[in-house]
Amino acid sequence: MVKNTSSKILAAVCVFFIIFFAFAAMKEHSTIDPAKCTNCGECAAECPEEAISPGVVDGKEVHIIDIEKCTACGICIDICPEGAIYIDTTDIPGYVPEETKAKPDKKEKKKTKKVKKYKVK
């Protein structure tokens, strides 16, 4: 019976870690479009996590983001003069960025009547 219980605990721990690491790999991170990157290095100089380094993609010298270090802070997006960096969420199933969610139209908002309040003396 002890062996059976310890096997169940071990199996549960293994399942937990498999699920944990699967979801840990699915996070927001910045991505550099190699077609737009001019390899200026401004992003690498400003990255607080030192997640950006020079590299080669399809024979072109560009900068590459290490998604394990990237925290998606957005500093590199703001600093890039070519607009080559964006937040990538393609590996997160069911994720919809806040800016793409449907927002209610101002005209469709229900108009509420203001109710006059009377004081009783």
Q: Which amino acid is at 94?
A: G
Give the C-alpha separation, 106 to 24, whole Å: 38
**Whole-number percent of the chain with pLDDT over 70:** 58
**Domains of the chain: which residue ranges?**
28-91
The pLDDT of residue 93: 52
pLDDT at 102 over 70: no
pTM of the model: 0.54
Q: For residues 48 and 73, is the Cβ–Cβ distance under 8 A?
A: yes
Query: What CATH number does domain 28-91 carry, 3.30.70.20, 3.90.550.10, 3.40.50.300, 3.90.700.10?
Result: 3.30.70.20
For the record, the structure tokens of 48 come out as 């607080």
* Cα–Cα distance measured from residue 24 to residue 27, given in angstroms and rounded to the nearest whole number: 6
Kindly report the number of other CB atoms within 10 A of residue 56's CB atom. 11
Query: Helix or strand or coil: residue 77?
Result: helix
Tens digit of pLDDT for each residue in 17-72? 565 555 445 567 788 999 999 999 999 999 999 999 999 988 999 999 988 888 88
Spatial CB neighbours of 38, under 8 Å, sequence gap ≥ 6:
81, 82, 84
